[in-house]
Every structure is written in C-alpha cells, then in structure tokens.
Amino acid sequence: MNKILNFGSLNIDIVYSLDHIVRPGETISSEEINTFCGGKGLNQSVAIARSGLEVYHAGKIGRDGGIIRQALDEAGIKCDFLMESEGRTGNALIQKDKSGQNSIILFGGTNKEITTLEIDNILEQFTGNDILIAQNEISNVPYLLKAAQKSRMKIAFNPSPMEEWIKNTSLEGITWLIINEIEGEDLTGSSKPEEIISRLLKKYPDISVVLTLGKNGVIYADKTNWFKHGANEVEVVDTTAAGDTFLGYFVGSTAKGLDIPTSLKLASLAASLAVSKAGAVSSIPTMEMVNELLKT
Ligand code: RIB
C-alpha cells in the first residue's frame, strides 16, 4: 500500500465554553475552560490512524509540545518527521457556544517555522502515488504543494484557513480538494453548492472536489461522478475537528480502496460521532465506533 504523509499543523487548543461567541466590545465570563490537543494537521492524522491506517506526520512542536508528542504516540502515528524547536507550539484560542458552534483564533508558533529545506528533506522519502495531506496552517504550503506535485504524489488539500494566495494559485495537480461552503464561496464567488462544484471542475477538470455542507451532508464530484451523502442527525456538543475527522476518514477509506459512496458514508458517520463529543483529538472516533454506528 502507498504511504500517507500528513505535513501539517500541531496545536494546543484552549477552549472557552460560553453562552455565545463574544461580540465586539463585550466582556463575558466563561463557564468552563479546557485544554485539548488539536490543529487541523494533528486531527486529520489521528482520524487516519483511528480509521486503521498507517500515517506519517511531519510538523514542528516547541518546548511546550510534550502533550502533542504524547497524543501522536498514543494514536500510533509515525513520528519519524516530527521536528522540535525552542519556539512556542502553535495554539488555538477557541470560543465554543452552547449550541456547539465555535470561532477560532490561531497562533502559528512553530507551525510557521517549517522551512523549504525541511520540506525537501522529508518529501525525498516519498514517491509517486504516495499520498500527501496538507492544510494551510504551516509555513511554505505553496512550496509544499509544488514539491509534492513534482514527486507525483497524490494530494489531499484542505485550504483552511483560506488566504489570498490560495485564491490566486492554480489548484491543478491537487487530487482531492476538500472544502466547506465558505471556502467554496471564497474560491468561486458562489454560495450555491452545485455552482461551487461546477465552477471548480470547469477550471480544474482533473481534480475531485469534496464539498462538506455541515448538517446538509456532503457532495463529491469529479469529471465523471457526482455523489451526495446526507448527514446523520446527532446532538451537537462541539463541532471542533468534525471537518478534520471527515477528511481523515474519507482519504483513509479511499486509500484502502473503498469506493467513493462507501468512503463518504464512513467519513460522515465518523464526523457525526466527532461532533457529539468535546474537544478535537479527544472527539475523533475509532473504526470500531464507526462500525458500531453503521450497524444501527
Ligand atoms: O479544525 C479544528 C482545528 O482548527 C482545531 O483543533 C484548532 O487547533 C484549529 O487548527
């Protein structure tokens, strides 16, 4: 089987549970504060590992990153390319309201210390048909994507957080573009799911688009296929990492050779389990839990 490399962020998430997301000029008291391991990169690697696949995580932690290393180890993720520096590990300040929705402020920290030389040295260990997973929370992502394309790796790209450079860069060469509706609108100017997909496929006919729609499910489309899958109805506790769980299970299932509808189904079930638990890494289900839900 081809190798999977996730070159991505590692964050310490500080989560404030609030009645509502704070408004400009407002001061409110938090009902609870918790620290979790997170970062889109880490969450996606954990989802792949819990789906039963081997995954290498490349990223950088700082002197306070012990809990992140522990989370990677506990999930059985291969840490051959985990780097350390004297800096401060990336972190996220998350406001979570009583309906489970959130808003996130990121501090890049050591995620933003990744150099092009480090990217070259790590990608040397991978070849064509290996899979690269990337988000936009580390430094030099444009370089990483180009280098992976040169190595003919398959690329799953989650353009989050969205930035100007992504809108002005060709996404040709990406294998799976995994986006939500807001990112879709940023990329295409349309807020209508069908139009987002048709505009992207018109511009980049060879990519596969996976558009997640929250409680309205997900659409997968490439130049010959179009699949829609609904979302499970669950009680929402915390939406943090739901998208990351979806991505990890979708890419993992596809890498196992499962067909697209099955991969969408498993990924949607996994994401629905993730929203029913608090935290990022701590909310990501195992394959056994997904299979249990599948039976019901
Ligand atoms: O997608 C959720 C993640 O976004 C959080 O874990 C936080 O660290 C931010 O990166």
Cβ-Cβ contacts under 8 Å for 131 (sequence gap 6 or more): 2, 3, 4, 5, 153, 154, 155, 156, 175, 251, 255
For 102, list phi and psi in degrees, rounded to 5: -135, 170
pLDDT in tens, 247-261: 999 999 999 999 999
Answer for the pair 154, 130: CB distance below 8 angstroms, yes or no: yes
pLDDT in tens, 58-107: 999 999 999 999 999 999 999 999 999 999 999 999 999 999 899 999 99
Residue 241, token pair as written in the block: 């990492």
Decide whether any atom of ligand 1 lies within 6 Å of the 113 Cβ: no
Residue 273: predicted pLDDT: 97
- Residue 265 burial (CB count, 10 A): 22
Ligand 1 atom closest to Cα of residue 11: 8
Decide whether any atom of ligand 1 lies within 6 Å of the 222 Cβ: no
Decide whether any atom of ligand 1 lies within 6 Å of the 238 Cβ: no
Residue 177, token pair as written in the block: 């573009």
Is 1's pLDDT higher than 80? no
The best mutation among 104, 105, 277 to test binding of ligand 1, ranked by most ligand atoms within 8 Å of the C-beta, falls on 104
Domain ranges of the chain: 4-23+30-295
Is 4-23+30-295 assigned to CATH 1.10.3720.10? no
